[in-house]
Amino acid sequence: MRTLYINIGELLQIRDHSTTYLSGNEMNILPRLQDAFLLVENDTIADFGEMRYADAVSADRIIDLQGKFMLPAWIDSHTHLVYAGNREQEFVDRINGLTYEEIASKGGGILNSAKRLQETPEDDLYEQSKLRLEQVMAQGTGAIEIKSGYGLTPEAELKMLRVIKRLQADFPATIKATFLGAHAVPAAHKGNRDEYMNVVINEMLPAVAEEKLADFVDIFCEKGYFSVEDMERLLRASKKFDLKAKVHVNQFNITGGVPAAVKHNALSVDHLEIINEEDIAALKNSDTMPVALPLCSFFISIPYTPARRMIDAGLPLALASDYNPGTSPSGNMNLVIATACIKMNMTPEEAINAATVNAAYAMGLEATHGSITKGKKANLIITKSIPSYGYLPYDFGNTNIHQVILEGKEI
């Protein structure tokens, strides 16, 4: 099946296969083509170019986009989309003055979600998660990473990862799974973190690897959660199973987790609301992608990752939603991009690059996703009729998407 899209007002994010990720000044450049055509063959971008060459292209069907923009689908490299129930009461508690950390220390937060997830049958968990996935796909997300971490027992962690596997099989979005058993110390191991880390490393990790349920491993490296030593232990153990790391680090405190993650060649370090020069130096010339989660900062009123400081220091940066019931009950990448522009002073070009090319790298998908490149996956967004791409973050709160195409199919 060959579908030819014609009269594209502007084709955004055109790259060749040599682009793996963008750092520093490169992030401010968004290569594009006006008045273009694009050919999709089955699930792949087969060709594109100036409209005047479209006549020579044969196709089974032709779709006239009448000046609309086309760009690669968003890539959300950090979510906790599989969860049970919601936490709107904690949201109200925070409005009334409690902090996220105070709520967590009273048994709320992650442990609250873990209790509900443990009580929720797998099919029910699948149904709840499926609705969220359908929603973010309609908002333009074509590839998404989903973590476990609300199970916190071997059975419940495996249940979460099996739900992710079912979503992978049932939906055209590209999904990667991350094992986050070390998300919080569960009540059953309260005060005994080492004992729980033994369960994570000696019981959960081998079971996850055996069933091939995860692509990556993660840990919440933070005061009151897990230490840098715990992270190093987990990352060493994960290497034996060939699982690369994507870690939660520096959300509330500088822990030393960034240099340690870089040392272990983590694929990404995520959050970074608090960061120091040592962290920036460690990330410089490393292969580790820093990932900012602006909706988490917005929702729980904590500092934003200092994107300007990082990009101006020459670092790359990716953006993700952190979709989860506690700190970001939204997986809308359009809002992520707008918030990055409004609150982190990223330019529209930087934000779009961070949510496509750099996000693909943060999921290990840079060879197949994240740009308009011949041979890459036909995961595409067609915008409504908009005056320029800067209108996308400007018109925040609205989703200016006319059509999403995943694996070559209009969804």
The reply, when asked if residue 116 is annotated as ligand binding, is no
Candidates 325, 329, 331, 370: give the one binding ligand NIG (CB under 6 A): 325
* Binding residues among 285-344 for Fe ion as defined by CB under 5 A: 322
Is the Cβ of residue 65 or residue 219 nearer to ligand NIG in the bound state? 219
Stretch that binds ligand NIG, among 105-113, 255-263, 354-362, 382-390 (CB under 6 A): 105-113
> Is 322 a residue that touches ligand NIG (CB under 6 A)?
yes
CB–CB of 379/73 below 8 Å? yes
Q: CB under 5 to 8 A by kind: which of ligand NIG, Fe ion, none does 325 bind?
A: ligand NIG
* Binding residues among 232-271 for ligand NIG as defined by CB under 6 A: 248, 251
CB–CB of 400/392 below 8 Å? yes
Binding characters for ligand NIG, 204-233, by CB under 6 A (x = yes)? ----------------x-------------
Is the Cβ of residue 140 or residue 331 nearer to Fe ion in the bound state? 331
* Least Cβ distance, residue 279 to ligand NIG (angstroms): 17
Stretch that binds ligand NIG, among 40-48, 131-139, 324-332, 398-406 (CB under 6 A): 324-332
* Least Cβ distance, residue 57 to ligand NIG (angstroms): 45
* Least Cβ distance, residue 262 to ligand NIG (angstroms): 19
* Binding residues among 124-163 for ligand NIG as defined by CB under 6 A: none
The reply, when asked if residue 21 is annotated as ligand binding, is no
Candidates 8, 296, 340, 405: give the one binding ligand NIG (CB under 6 A): 296
* Least Cβ distance, residue 113 to ligand NIG (angstroms): 5
> Is 222 a residue that touches Fe ion (CB under 5 A)?
no
> Is 218 a residue that touches Fe ion (CB under 5 A)?
no
The residue nearest ligand NIG at its CB is: 326
Q: Binding site for Fe(3+): what residues are annotated?
A: 78, 80, 248, 322
- Footprint of ligand NIG (CB under 6 A): 109-110, 113, 220, 248, 251, 296, 322, 324-327
Residues that bind Fe ion (CB under 5 A): 322
